[in-house]
């Protein structure tokens, strides 16, 4: 994979370099299907349940904020293992017995998983997580900086036999 393949292209913008006509066709077909299935149950890529997150850093802590509308404490799990913070949860579909013919279906249901790598030395016992009004806030205290230890450099005397080349 080259770096250029990681650069997203908008519909109105095209790169100054040559674009393979088959790649252009594939993008146009993807756009067509995304637009066509928009509003269908499970249709379109925008229907994936992936919470939006902000990660902010201060001198003392890392703060992760995730939007989880409609979820309660029992629906969300926060874990830490091997310096990786994992936020996972599930938004269950509301089940009603009445017959409904949906005209538009934009709400997403299902499970999600987000992972964030934490710096070495974080104490998992001091991590706090709060959920209020559909917003999860995880506070991770930063580890204390490792102390710098000075190592003395000593001169070693070289004997006459070791200093000569054969």
* pTM of the predicted model as reported, rounded to 2 decimal places: 0.57
Q: Does the pLDDT of residue 122 top 70, yes or no?
A: yes
φ, ψ of residue 125 in degrees (nearest 5): -70, -15
Give the integer Cα–Cα distance in Å for 166 and 71.
Answer: 78
Contacts of 45 (CB under 8 A, 6+ apart): 34
Q: Does the pLDDT of residue 67 top 80, yes or no?
A: yes
Which tens digits make up the pLDDT trace of 12-49? 444 445 557 787 888 888 778 776 766 555 544 444 56
- What is the topology classification, in CATH, of domain 50-95+103-143? Immunoglobulin-like (2.60.40)
């Amino acid at each position: 994979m080259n770096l250029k393949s990681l650069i997203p292209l908008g519909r109105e913008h095209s790169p100054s370099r040559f674009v393979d006509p088959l790649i252009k066709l594939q993008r146009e077909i993807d756009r067509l299907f995304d637009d066509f299935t928009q509003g269908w149950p499970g249709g379109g890529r925008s229907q994936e349940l992936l919470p939006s997150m902000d990660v902010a850093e201060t001198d003392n802590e890392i703060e992760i904020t995730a939007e989880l509308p409609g979820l309660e404490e029992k629906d969300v799990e926060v874990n830490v293992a091997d310096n990786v913070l994992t936020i996972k949860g599930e938004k269950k579909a509301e089940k009603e017995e009445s017959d409904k013919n949906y005209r538009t279906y934009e709400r997403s249901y299902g499970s999600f998983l987000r992972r964030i790598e934490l710096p070495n030395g974080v104490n998992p016992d001091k991590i706090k997580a709060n959920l209020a009004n559909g917003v999860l806030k995880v506070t991770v205290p930063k580890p204390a900086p490792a102390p710098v230890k000075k190592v003395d450099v000593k001169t070693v005397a070289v004997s006459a036999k070791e200093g000569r080349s054969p």
